[in-house]
Chain A
Amino acid sequence: MNFPLLALFTRSLREDARGAATYWARAALATFILLVLAGMAATKSWIGAPGKNFFIGIVSLQAISITLVGLSYFGSAITEEKEEQTLGLLRMTDLNPLSILLGKSTSRLGGALLLLAAQFPFTIFAVTLGGVSLGQITATYCTLGAYTFLLCNVALLGSVIARRTAGASTFTLLVMGTLLAAGPLLGAWNQRLLQHGVDLGLKPLADTLWKASPLARLIEILGTGFSGSLAGWQVASNLALGVVFFMAAWAAFGRFCDRVPVEGGSAVASKKMLGLSLRRPPRPQAYALIWKDFYFLGGGRLGLIVRIVGYGGSAIFAGIGALKGNGPAGFTAAGSLVTFVFSIDLAVLAARMFGTEIRDQTLSALAMLPLNIRQIAYRKALALLHVALPGAIAVLICGILTITSFSGALRSSSAPTPSLVAMLVSQTIANWVNIILLVHVVAWLSLIMKRGAVPVGYVTTQAFHTIIAVGGMALAAALGSFRGGNMAFLSYSQFVGVGASIIAIFILHRRGLRRLEALVGES
C-alpha cells in the first residue's frame, strides 16, 4: 500500500503481525479463559448458573482491563512520538495529521478489538455451562467494542493535547469518569431537587446518559431474560462520541503537535505552584538513595502532604459516613475504594522506581556506587514505603474499622461472629499480600516493558488471583465438598490464594534482582 494516508497504519499492522507479543497476548488470554472455564465446569454442581457466573467474571475483568490498559496504551499514541522527539520527523514527511492519527491510533484500536475478537469463540463455551445465551455474549462484546472505540478516541485527544503519556492518561481518566458518572450524578441531583419540590425535567437526560454507559448496558444484558438488540443506544452513542473525539483530535493536532516544545527549556531551579514558591529539598545525609527517591520520585514533602490530605480525608469521610448509619457496608465500600486507590498509587510508584532510572539511563551510575544491586533495590523500596505511608495507614484504619464495625453489628444480632471476624482478618491479610504482589508484578514488568507496566501488572495480578481461586475451587470439588460449609471454603480459598501469592512474590523478587543485574550490564 503506497498511500501516505495509510502508510503508518500499514506499518503498525505489519509490526503487530510480526511481533511475537501479539500472539502471546492472545494465547495467554485464551488459555486464561479456558482455565477459568475448566475450573467452573469442575465446580458446576456447587454453583447455580455457572456459565453466567463465568461470563460475568470474565466480562468484569475485561472491562477493567480495557479501561486500565487503554489509559496508557491508547494514551501514548501521539505522546510517545513527542517523548522520543520523533513527531517532528513524521511531520517532515508527506504524512498529514489525519494519516498520523489513523496510523498511531487506529492500529492500536484494531489490535485491542482483535484481542477481544480472539476471546469470543472461547467465551461461547459459557453457553454450554448454562445461565447465559449466545445473544447475551454477542451483545456484551458489541458493548465492549463500542466502549473500546470511545476510550481509544478520548485517549487520542488526550494524547494530542498532552506532552506526556501521564498527562494523556489523566485527561482520559477525567473525561471518561465524567462521561460515565454524569448520568448517575444528574439522576441523584434530580432526585434531591424533586424532594424539595423542584422539577427541572432532568430525569430523561439522566436516563439517556446512564443508558449510554457500558455499565448500564452490561447490567441490562446480563440480567435474566435479556432479549434486546445486539447493539443498543450505548453502542450507537459510544461510536458517535468516539467519532466526535477523533474529529476533535484531528482539529487540535495542528495547535498542539506542530510545534512540540523542547524538553525542559527552563534552567530555573525554583518551582512555583498556585503562587507558592516550593523550596528545594534539604541536603542528603545518610541513605542518599532514599532521599533521592523520596524527593524526586515520590513528590517529596508536597507529595506527602497531598497523600496525607487525600488518604486522611477518605478515611475520615468513611468514618463519618459509617457514624451516620451507613454501617459495615459503608466501611467496606470506603475501605475497598481506599485500598484500590492505594494499590494503584503504590503500583505507579513501583513502576517508576526502576522505570525512570532505565528511561534516564542512570542505572549504571547508581550501580557504580559501593552498594550491591540488592542494597540499591531495597533502599529504593524503602523510599517508596516512606511515600506510601499515609495510604498504608489509611488502608489499615479502614480495615480495622470494617472489622470492628462488622463484629459490633453481628454481636448485636446474636449471630455467631468469631468465624466471620476471623475471615475478615484473613481477608485483610490477603488484601495486603495482594498489594505486595501487585507491587512486585509491576516493578518486574517495569524492567521488561517500556510503558504500561501498571495496567498490565494490574490485569496480570487479577488474572492470577482468578486462576488461583478457580483452581482452588476445582481442587476442592475434586477432593469432595467441605464439611465446614461456605465459611470454611472461603478460608480455604484465601489460604490457597495467599500461599500462591507469597510464592509468586518470592519468585518475582529473585527474578527482578537478576533482571536488574542484567540491565546494569546492558545499560
Chain B
Amino acid sequence: MDPEIVIDIRDLTHRYKTHQALGGVSFTVQRQSIHGFVGPNGAGKTTTLKVLATLLKPQRGDVSVFGHDIVRDCKAVRRKIGFMPDHFSMYRQMTVFEYLDFFGAAYGIGLAQRDKIIGDVLALTDMAGRKDDLINGLSRGMQQRVSLARVLVHDPDLLLLDEPASGLDPRARIELMEILEELRRLGKTIFISSHILSELATLCDHVTILDRGQVKYTGTMRGLITSSDGDLATYQLTLAAEHPATSDSLAKLPGMQRVTPPLPNEARYTLTFDRTQLALNTILQTTIASGGQVVSFAEDVKHLNQAFMDLTEPGVRSDQ
C-alpha cells in the first residue's frame, strides 16, 4: 500500500432498489491534497461519501482509508476521519462550547486536552467569540463553521466534506475556503464534494468527476482544464495578423505534431507538440524568425464549465 494514498476506492458499486447509484467507481486520493469530488445532482457523490464515512456498507468493491478496510476496521477508520454531511447535524439547544465538548468527550478526549483542542478549533474557525451562544441562534454560515469545528475536534487526518459551501453567501464561502486552505497547511487531507466545479477550481489540486455513478475524470485540476495529455502539450499562439510563413516554419519543427490553422479573421494557431522534443523557447524563436508578430502564447486552457459539460451527460437520468 502506497503510504501517500489516503483513500483507495476500487470498483465500488452501490444500488438503491431500482436505482444504480454507483457502478464500479475507482479512484485514489493523495495525502495532504485537497481533492475535489464533482458531479451533477444524483451523480453518486453523497453515496460515495457515506461509504467512505462508514455510514453505508459497500455492496461491491474495496474501499480503504489510510490502508484500513472500511468494513473490517470501521472503528480505526472513524478515528482518522471527520465527516461533515450536506445538512447541519446540530444539537440546537446546546451552546457552541457544549456541542464541541460533547463530541470531544464522546471521542474519549480528556478534560484538560479537550479545553485546548476546543480553543484551537474555535480559533481556527473564528468562532471563539461565540462559544457561549446557543447553536439555535447562529446564522447558517456560523453553524457551518461550528459543524466544521466539530469535525476537527478529534484531530482527524482526513476530512470528508459533503457540499460544505451550499447555501452560504459569497463571503462565507470565501472564508470557508480560506479555512480549508489553512487546514491543508496543517497537514490534513481534504476530500470535498460539490456540484459546482468552479467553486473548487482555486482550492483543489486534484479532482474526480462523477456522472451517473461513473468516474468521468480523475487526476489533477490542471490536467482537467488543459488539453495537455502526458508529454503532448497544446498551446495557443496568437499573432497580430495571419502569417502562413510562420505556420509552415512551425509545422517543420521536430516534435511538432499539429498546427491547426486559424479561423477566418482570427490569427490564433493551436499547436500540439511533444514537450520532451520541443521547447517553448524554440517555438517562440521560430515564430519571430519567420516574421510573425506575437500577441500571446499560452497553454490551451478550457473554461472549467466547458470541461465539466464535456465530461458529463445532459439531462436527468431516467431511473431517478
A313-353 near B? 1/0 per residue, CB < 8 Å = 00000000000000000000000000000000000000000
Given known contacts A269-B132, A369-B106, is B101 in contact with A362 (CB within 8 Å)?
A: no
Q: Tell whether, in the assembled complex, residue A264 and residue B137 are in contact, meaning their CB atoms are under 8 Å apart.
A: yes
Given known contacts A280-B98, A285-B105, is B88 in contact with A361 (CB within 8 Å)?
A: yes
Given known contacts A267-B138, A360-B92, is B102 in contact with A368 (CB within 8 Å)?
A: no
A266 contacts B by Cβ under 8 Å: yes
Q: Tell whether, in the assembled complex, residue A369 and residue B107 are in contact, meaning their CB atoms are under 8 Å apart.
A: yes
**Interface size for chain B: under 10, 10 to 19, 20 to 34, or 35 or more residues?**
35 or more
Using CB atoms, name the residue of chain B closest to A287. Answer: B105
Q: How far is the CA of A353 from the CA of B210 in the complex (A)?
A: 37
CB distance from B313 to the nearest CB of A (A): 27
Pick the contact of B133: A269, A368, A370, A371 (CB < 8 A): A269
Q: How far is the CA of A283 from the CA of B137 in the complex (A)?
A: 21
Residues of B within 8 Å of A179, CB to CB, are none
Using CB atoms, name the residue of chain B closest to A520. Answer: B55
B15 contacts A by Cβ under 8 Å: no
Interface residues of A in 261-304 (CB under 8 A from B): 263-269, 280-281, 283-286, 288-289, 291-292, 296
B131-154 near A? 1/0 per residue, CB < 8 Å = 011101110000000000010000
Using CB atoms, name the residue of chain A closest to B74. Answer: A372
CB distance from B106 to the nearest CB of A (A): 4
Q: How far is the CA of A368 from the CA of B95 in the complex (A)?
A: 21
Q: Tell whether, in the assembled complex, residue A263 and residue B136 are in contact, meaning their CB atoms are under 8 Å apart.
A: yes
Q: Tell whether, in the assembled complex, residue B89 and residue A364 are in contact, meaning their CB atoms are under 8 Å apart.
A: yes
Residues of A within 8 Å of B95, CB to CB, are 269, 280
Using CB atoms, name the residue of chain B closest to A376. Answer: B106
Q: Tell whether, in the assembled complex, residue A364 and residue B55 are in contact, meaning their CB atoms are under 8 Å apart.
A: yes
A521 contacts B by Cβ under 8 Å: yes
Using CB atoms, name the residue of chain B closest to A267. Answer: B137
A523 contacts B by Cβ under 8 Å: yes
Pick the contact of A364: B85, B101, B106 (CB < 8 A): B85
Q: Tell whether, in the assembled complex, residue B137 and residue A368 are in contact, meaning their CB atoms are under 8 Å apart.
A: no
Residues of B within 8 Å of A269, CB to CB, are 95, 132-134
Given known contacts A280-B98, A288-B102, is B134 in contact with A368 (CB within 8 Å)?
A: no
Best-buried of B85, B92, B101, B106 by chain A (most CB within 10 Å): B106
Interface residues of A in 398-430 (CB under 8 A from B): none
Interface residues of B in 12-66 (CB under 8 A from A): 50, 53-57
Residues of A within 8 Å of B50, CB to CB, are 521
Interface size on A, residues (CB 8 A): 32
B79 contacts A by Cβ under 8 Å: yes
Residues of B within 8 Å of A523, CB to CB, are 55, 85
Residues of B within 8 Å of A368, CB to CB, are 53-55, 78, 81-83
Q: How far is the CA of A269 from the CA of B91 in the complex (A)?
A: 13
B80-113 near A? 1/0 per residue, CB < 8 Å = 0111010111111111001001110111100100
Q: Tell whether, in the assembled complex, residue B89 and residue A521 are in contact, meaning their CB atoms are under 8 Å apart.
A: no
B75 contacts A by Cβ under 8 Å: yes
Using CB atoms, name the residue of chain B closest to A296. Answer: B93
Q: Tell whether, in the assembled complex, residue B55 and residue A367 are in contact, meaning their CB atoms are under 8 Å apart.
A: yes
Residues of B within 8 Å of A280, CB to CB, are 95, 98
Q: Tell whether, in the assembled complex, residue B136 and residue A291 are in contact, meaning their CB atoms are under 8 Å apart.
A: no
Given known contacts A361-B89, A364-B55, is B111 in contact with A283 (CB within 8 Å)?
A: yes
Using CB atoms, name the residue of chain B closest to A283. Answer: B101
A365 contacts B by Cβ under 8 Å: yes
Q: How far is the CA of A154 from the CA of B82 in the complex (A)?
A: 48
Using CB atoms, name the residue of chain B closest to A263. Answer: B136
Q: How far is the CA of A361 from the CA of B86 in the complex (A)?
A: 10
Q: Tell whether, in the assembled complex, residue B85 and residue A292 are in contact, meaning their CB atoms are under 8 Å apart.
A: no
Q: Tell whether, in the assembled complex, residue A288 and residue B89 are in contact, meaning their CB atoms are under 8 Å apart.
A: no
Using CB atoms, name the residue of chain A closest to B75. Answer: A370
Pick the contact of A365: B56, B89, B93, B98 (CB < 8 A): B89
Residues of A within 8 Å of B106, CB to CB, are 284, 288-289, 369, 371
Residues of B within 8 Å of A283, CB to CB, are 101, 105, 111
Given known contacts A296-B94, A361-B88, A362-B90, is B136 in contact with A264 (CB within 8 Å)?
A: yes
CB distance from B169 to the nearest CB of A (A): 18
Q: Tell whether, in the assembled complex, residue B134 and residue A266 are in contact, meaning their CB atoms are under 8 Å apart.
A: yes
Using CB atoms, name the residue of chain B closest to A264. Answer: B136
Interface residues of A in 234-284 (CB under 8 A from B): 263-269, 280-281, 283-284
B164-204 near A? 1/0 per residue, CB < 8 Å = 00000000000000000000000000000000000000000
Given known contacts A266-B136, A267-B138, is B91 in contact with A362 (CB within 8 Å)?
A: yes
Given known contacts A264-B136, A267-B138, A285-B111, is B91 in contact with A292 (CB within 8 Å)?
A: yes
Q: How far is the CA of A266 from the CA of B93 in the complex (A)?
A: 11
Q: How far is the CA of A321 from the CA of B111 in the complex (A)?
A: 50
Given known contacts A283-B111, A285-B111, A364-B55, is B94 in contact with A264 (CB within 8 Å)?
A: no
Residues of B within 8 Å of A520, CB to CB, are 55
Q: How far is the CA of A206 from the CA of B205 in the complex (A)?
A: 81
Pick the contact of B92: A264, A265, A369 (CB < 8 A): A264
Pick the contact of B55: A268, A361, A362, A521 (CB < 8 A): A521
CB distance from B137 to the nearest CB of A (A): 3
Q: How far is the CA of A155 from the CA of B38 in the complex (A)?
A: 48
Residues of A within 8 Å of B103, CB to CB, are 288, 365, 369
Q: Tell whether, in the assembled complex, residue A360 and residue B55 are in contact, meaning their CB atoms are under 8 Å apart.
A: no
Q: How far is the CA of A284 from the CA of B54 in the complex (A)?
A: 26
Using CB atoms, name the residue of chain B closest to A369. Answer: B106
Residues of A within 8 Å of B53, CB to CB, are 364, 368
Residues of A within 8 Å of B78, CB to CB, are 368-370
Using CB atoms, name the residue of chain A closest to B79. Answer: A370
Q: Tell whether, in the assembled complex, residue B87 and residue A361 are in contact, meaning their CB atoms are under 8 Å apart.
A: yes
Q: How far is the CA of A45 from the CA of B85 in the complex (A)?
A: 63
Using CB atoms, name the residue of chain B closest to A356. Answer: B91
CB distance from B47 to the nearest CB of A (A): 9
CB distance from B48 to the nearest CB of A (A): 13
CB distance from B134 to the nearest CB of A (A): 5
CB distance from B67 to the nearest CB of A (A): 17
Q: How far is the CA of A509 from the CA of B201 in the complex (A)?
A: 48
Residues of B within 8 Å of A362, CB to CB, are 89-91
Q: How far is the CA of A284 from the CA of B97 in the complex (A)?
A: 11
Q: How far is the CA of A513 from the CA of B90 in the complex (A)?
A: 23
CB distance from A373 to the nearest CB of B (A): 10
Residues of A within 8 Å of B56, CB to CB, are 521
CB distance from A175 to the nearest CB of B (A): 28
Given known contacts A263-B136, A521-B55, A523-B55, is B83 in contact with A364 (CB within 8 Å)?
A: yes
Q: How far is the CA of A26 from the CA of B81 in the complex (A)?
A: 48
Q: How far is the CA of A288 from the CA of B74 in the complex (A)?
A: 20
B204-244 near A? 1/0 per residue, CB < 8 Å = 00000000000000000000000000000000000000000
Q: Tell whether, in the assembled complex, residue A281 and residue B98 are in contact, meaning their CB atoms are under 8 Å apart.
A: yes
Q: Tell whether, in the assembled complex, residue A284 and residue B102 are in contact, meaning their CB atoms are under 8 Å apart.
A: yes
Residues of B within 8 Å of A286, CB to CB, are 105, 108
Q: How far is the CA of A268 from the CA of B96 in the complex (A)?
A: 11
* B residues with CB within 8 A of A: 50, 53-57, 74-75, 78-79, 81-83, 85, 87-95, 98, 101-103, 105-108, 111, 130, 132-134, 136-138, 150
- A sample of 10 cross-chain residue pairs with beta-carbon separation below 8 angstroms, ordered by A number, consists of A264-B92, A267-B130, A267-B138, A269-B132, A284-B105, A288-B106, A361-B89, A362-B91, A370-B75, A370-B79
> Besides the contacts A364-B83, A365-B85, A523-B55, what 9 more A-B pairs have beta carbons closer than 8 Å?
A263-B136, A266-B134, A280-B98, A284-B106, A288-B106, A292-B102, A360-B89, A368-B55, A372-B74
* A residues with CB within 8 A of B: 263-269, 280-281, 283-286, 288-289, 291-292, 296, 360-362, 364-365, 367-372, 520-521, 523
Q: Which 4 A-B pairs have the closest CB atoms?
A: A267-B137, A264-B136, A288-B105, A284-B105
